[in-house]
Amino acid sequence: MDAVTYSSLAALSQQVFPVSHTDNMPDSPAAVTAPWCLTLLAECVQEAQLRQLKAFLDNRGWPVRGLDILACRPDCSALRLQLDGELDFHDARLALLELAGELGVELTLQPGGTQRTPRLACFDMDSTLIQAEVIDELAKIAGVGDQVAEITLAAMRGELDFQQSFRKRMGLLKGFTETSLAEIAPQLPVMPGAPRLLRALRALGCKTAILSGGFTYFANYLKDNHLAVDVIHANQLEFDGGALTGGVIDPIVDGARKASLLQEIAEEMHLSLEQVIAVGDGANDLPMLSLGALGIAFHAKPKVRAEAPQAIDGFGLDAALYLFGLNDRQIGKLLGE
């Protein structure tokens, strides 16, 4: 299908899913009344994809009770289907992940009640808010890149204990200068969609936190220069004479610590976990991804994508806004676009 308009996408989806549509994008999507929501993300939605999805849902007895078009742009279409019927979330999510791979789209399942703006959003930093693993970048400059990268990959795959791997990696960075850190910070590439998502969350009144196994040095740089972040918890670098000692300042922010911090911040804000979401990419993010209303694996490793409640793979971080039940018109008004 060539570049689509809202009306043509509405007509196409009406053919496949005969539920109510409007000719133009409304100010807000319909209220969620079904027990489940399924969000389809694709660069350009094809009729064959929708028909295969309908057959899949029909075969499982999950009728579509409503459909909203949340986005219709040259680079992204987003459709939200409200699903009825009884389903086991774990089994349904895995089946939909497999189907999404076959169709070449993304399919994200969530309870209908979670289609709302969170009050607290917690983010991993490395490979989530930025397109890099900072410790690997430092290691390359220090000449120990291959050694540190292998330890990092093993840790992210869940093959090594994070705390042990972190201590090993920091030991290899002994002598790295603070001057070099200051030169690296401005070069870290921010993840596409991250500034837009964080600005939208702030406009919606949602507090945001970085909970990272990376370093406060770089998290603070992002907060001061690029991202609308409220709270930071990450690892502190230990210096002596302007250079890294190779040691570690406890407590190390590992997976268990991230989950604990998420709960502590929520309690301090007098929020229930149903008002909290978490976003990350690695195995050490899974504990916090399992806690809130949504746990979004972003551009994640296969193991993490398979275990996390929700996942976004082929789009920018701001695609998470569709999982809050917002359409492009609402998002544009929030951001003054």
Residues involved in catalysis: 124, 126
120 DSSP 8-state letter? E
Alpha-carbon distance of 7 to 21, in angstroms, equals: 9
Give the CA distances from residue 212 to residues 35, 55, 122, 280, in Å, rounded to whole numbers and listed in that order: 33, 41, 10, 9
Q: Is 196 helix (H, G, I), strand (E, B) or coil?
A: helix
- Candidates 94, 190, 184, 103; CA nearest to 141 is 184
Q: What is the CA radius of gyration of the chain?
A: 21
The residue written with tokens 């502190």 in the block is 236
Cβ distance 33 to 82 under 8 Å? yes
Q: How far apart, in whole angstroms, are the C-alpha atoms of residue 236 and residue 308?
A: 28
How far is Cα 24 from Cα 43, in angstroms, rounded to an integer?
Answer: 20
On whether the CB atoms of residues 39 and 66 are closer than 8 A, the answer is no
Spatial separation of the C-alpha atoms in residues 153 and 163, rounded to whole Å: 14
- Token reading at 203: 């406009």
User: Closest Cα partner for 40 from 317, 319, 316, 305?
Assistant: 319
* Cβ count near 122 (within 10 Å): 30
Residue type, 168: K
Q: Is 297 helix (H, G, I), strand (E, B) or coil?
A: strand
Q: Any bridge partners for residue 177, and if so which?
A: 243
